[in-house]
């Protein structure tokens, strides 16, 4: 119990958000059980997780979220979509 308190204190001092950590701890076991159940139903074949439209969409969205959280990628994407303003010409 003391170890978790120390870990929580260090994470709070480093300004980590606590909500994602708590969600990960709670939902992690549920995800693990569901993954094992799904793999047992498909005899260990993970392709049904990516061939169904909904699960493929979630997998793609997860991959894009991870890629766009990389600072170098964020900088290049923002640079790509940044608009340059041109001075307005006086009409007439």
Domain regions of the chain by residue span: 1-44, 47-81
Per residue in 20-30, pLDDT (tens digit) is: 888 888 999 99
Q: In the predicted model, is pLDDT for residue 64 greater than 90?
A: yes
Report, as an integer, the average pLDDT of 71-90. Answer: 76
Q: In the predicted model, is pLDDT for residue 88 greater than 70?
A: no
pLDDT at residue number 50? 82
Higher pLDDT pick, 86 / 58: 58
| Rounded Cα–Cα distance for residues 33 and 38 (Å) | 9
pTM: 0.53
Task: List all residues 6 or more positions away from 73 whose beta carbon is below 8 Å from its beta carbon.
Answer: 67
User: Please, what is the average pLDDT of the chain?
Assistant: 86
CA atoms within 13 A on the CB side of 27: 6
């Amino acid at each position: 119990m003391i170890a978790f308190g120390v870990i929580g204190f260090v994470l709070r001092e480093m300004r980590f958000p606590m909500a994602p950590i708590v969600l990960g701890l709670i939902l992690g076991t549920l995800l693990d059980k569901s993954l094992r159940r799904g793999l047992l139903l498909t005899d260990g074949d993970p392709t049904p997780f990516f061939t169904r439209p909904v699960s493929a969409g979630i997998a793609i969205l997860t991959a894009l979220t991870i890629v766009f959280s990389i600072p170098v990628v964020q900088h290049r994407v923002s640079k790509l979509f940044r608009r340059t303003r041109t001075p307005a010409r006086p009409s007439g």
